[in-house]
Homo-oligomer: A and B are copies of this chain.
Amino acid sequence: MFTGSHQLTIDEKGRLAIPARYREELAESCRSQLVITRGPNPCLEIYPAHEFLRVADEIDLMEDREQAELVKSVFVGLACETEIDKQGRVLLPPLLRRYARFNGSGVLMGQTRRFDLWPEDAWNERFGDGPGSILPGIASAFRTLKR
């Protein structure tokens, strides 16, 4: 299970270093094979290869075929299969780099079965305490939880 946020840099070649604490788990679970793609949020989603395939299969089972086709065109059509190199880094392909302008700094968030990669300023806005934060909007939902 992937958890936690890590601030990291995307260098000029578009490379990003996977935090060391995940590398061993990823080497075992998917032999370091990752898929980078888009989802509904303005960030990139990073899946272990087998998880990506599972979600793709789940899309095929959706009842609304028109929606399924559109979702799949994004999820599969924008996906990039890649591998963690010997330095523990992955290369973001040029077209995905353009999304949400990764100009140097990003935040990698563990999201249970995948990672989300946010541009740092967008992440600050969404998860910070400013006016764009999602925190106020989820307070009541939070309170339905037994915690």
Contact = CB atoms under 8 A, between A and B. Distances in A.
A70 B138 contact: yes
Contacts of A81: 3-4
Interface of A: 1, 3-7, 35, 38-40, 42, 45, 47, 51, 55-56, 58-59, 62, 64, 67-68, 70-81, 93-95, 99-100, 107, 109-114, 116, 127, 129, 134-135, 137-147
* Interface SS, A side: mixed
Q: Which 4 A-B pairs have the closest CB atoms?
A: A40-B139, A40-B142, A77-B109, A3-B79
How many protomers of this protein does the assembly include? 2
A45 B142 CA distance: 13
Contacts of A143: 40
